[in-house]
Structure 1
Amino acid sequence: MNRTWPIIACCLVSLGPLACSDSSGGEADSTDTSGGDGDGDGDTTGDGDGDGDGDPGDGDTTGDGDGDGDTTGDGDGDGDTTGDGDGDGDTTGDGDGDGDTTGDGDGDGDGDGDGDGDGDLAFECGENLDPVILTLQNNDSARYPTIADAVFAAPDGGLVQICPGNYDEFVVVDDNIEIQGAGPGQTIWEPTGGALFIDAADVTVRDLTITGGTGVDAPGYNGACGGAIFVEAVFNTPRSVLLSNLELTDNMAWIGGALCIAGGSNGSVPVVTIEDSVITGNTAEVEGGAIYVAGQFHLVNTVVTDNVAEQDGGGALNINYGCRTVDDCSITNSVVQNNTAAAGMYANGGGMWLGDFYLNGKQGAAVTVTNSDFGFGFGEENQPDDVFTLFDLMTESYGFYGNGVSFTCEDGVCTDP
């Protein structure tokens, strides 16, 4: 893709691994200088238990090893008997002990997954530093004033890290890179007049908020597609995109208020995995209030709420073409509630609208839903129904699927939960 960008002169210098603000030896407590005692409690005893008193762990004498003051010996340190291993008092067993369900492993509740549990960043930010860091595969790094500058300079395998702040940019990604923010609500991307345009084979975007986007006028569409993110398709070219720990909110486009996955029923299509994210308050003027799917998708541990398709179907998801079998597209451990679509033959499907297409004959779009919440009670219901299918001019409407449901849809028919 030919583009014109400002030329930014910047020499790559070897900075080594990007440093956290804690340099005391890796224990994530940043208040002692004991050289890595590993316990994160601010003392120098190196007792490993994190409570600052230097005892074997929890203040009892049972020697059960869990640090919670009971005698159950379940190993997790949270005072219940579930033995899920994470110490946060819930039963999700995600292993990180911070009381959320992202399973990022660090126990600090910030979602950056840097593994140290101290709630700081995995990269250096400061007033006098350019806020975007590009790191190459050989660990050479350089700083840039904008996301677009860093992405333009990034070769395959590059890592672009974005400090906290607000960024108003339209960016095209055409190399296989990773983009990482400081976390939702900290790195806030406002692509006014555009979106994040992904046109590469292997891309990861994580740990940021995208809001206020208006989509991309891409070839083959009559209007802007993907208010926050547009994923381009190339005929017979496999593409894989991971969207992780994102907040996509208050974006708007002609179709696909937050996300547009291009594609078709022939050849390879992009496969987009959306995990541990929140997609809320987005609007499509026509269809796919949150997500328009012509490729393939997998929605995992993600919340999709309060999105609107103003004219046609799919208040949350409008699904067609690329979802050819029940294995191609899926919704797992996710929430799809309180989304709204217009009413009519090519509308409905507050939660999902599934269309049909020609591929060796007539075929209906397919999806598998596992252990997900489609709303129970008036305050959660998708309107006017949960799922609507169109197949060979025959329509079916499915309402009131409820919470914790598993079902499949294929060729215009959905199973009971």
Structure 2
Amino acid sequence: MDAISREREVCAANYAPLPIMLSHGEGVWLTDTSGVKRLDMMSGYSAVSLGHGHPRILKVLNEQARKLAVTSRAFHSEPLGPFLAKLCAIAGQEMALPMNTGAEAVETAIKAARRWGYRVKGIAPGKAEIIVAAGNFHGRTTTIVGFSSDESYRDGFGPFTPGFVSVPFGDAAALEAAITPHTAAILIEPIQGEAGIVMPPAGYLTRLRELCDERNVLLILDEIQSGLGRTGRWFAHQHEGVRPDGLIVGKALGGGVYPVSAFLASRAVMGLFEPGSHGSTFGGNALAAAIGLEALTVIEEERLVQRSAEHGAHMKQRLAAMTQGIARDVRGAGLWIGVDIDPEAGSAKTIVKALAGAGVLTKETHDTVIRFAPPLTISRQELDWGLDRCEAVFGSLARHTGAAAA
């Protein structure tokens, strides 16, 4: 039995990976068990923004693991304070609550918003509502999938938690109409990642900020995928110059080797948590804190936010040029671009397989969109190597489509 068959026999089929058995990774490259080397243009949904095996991350991982890893938050540990202080300073927030996965950080934000709604805004007990956007992806817990608009995420997992109101993404007027005295918060992604790198109209976040100020509602932004340099700014909301009341971060925070996430907010919001009101055995452990601090330092010192902006503009321009007549849209910011394939030109999944065969690993979403999100550490030479191979695949598709049309 080969390795893939062995995995399929014992692993639940909640994913449908490409039939490639990866062996090791270095920088922006992944190598399979046959020795074939491919460019990673997916970077683990932004979790590997610093590339595979970044030497500074591995050094801190090794040193801290040998010194102290996990004790639970029943005790203090040296790395936690410096880590959260740097994270808060970068994010422009006052306090942070560390967790492990993105979904846990979202759940933390939901709890914070509801408690703020009851204790500060004065919403009647059990009546707090949170407005979300259709097309959202905030995680896979039963609470979170309950307010997803994707039936495949919800099928068979009800009954779902009440208290969520969904409106179309990018429609500020619809959102304004949905606000009631029971509204505690608006929870959205500034750019919807899993939906296909969907961009809101200009001014959308600015208008949401205005509405939240006018109606006494918290604005909470999920930047788990879009944050920490992915869009060419530290955070996607900075493209419009707004400041959220709550910010959710994760993925890249773990340096590609460890799950690290956090919910950040003002002292007034965070002060609503007291001992016993929330927790996590692994959240904020010494190893996670040391890795998170080094991940932030690497992004800062290697100027990866600026690199994302510069290389991202180049990548978007090249992808738009090579997919003319094939793509309905090429959208995104920084090193995070979605190519929306015209169904008449071909299947996104088929193209992703062809790209893998050409040496480029990426992933489709929602049937038509191919996501390109290489590690922020990628060089221009490595990026162009991958884009040249993408161009060959898209060129072949264009010729085939043209021949079929003729």
TM-score (ref. length: structure 2)? 0.24
Considering fraction of residues, name the structure with more strand. 1
Q: Which of structures 1 and 2 has the bigger CA Rg?
A: 1
User: Which structure's relative contact order is higher, taking Cα pairs within 8 Å and 6+ residues apart?
Assistant: 2
Considering fraction of residues, name the structure with more helix. 2
TM-score (ref. length: structure 1)? 0.23
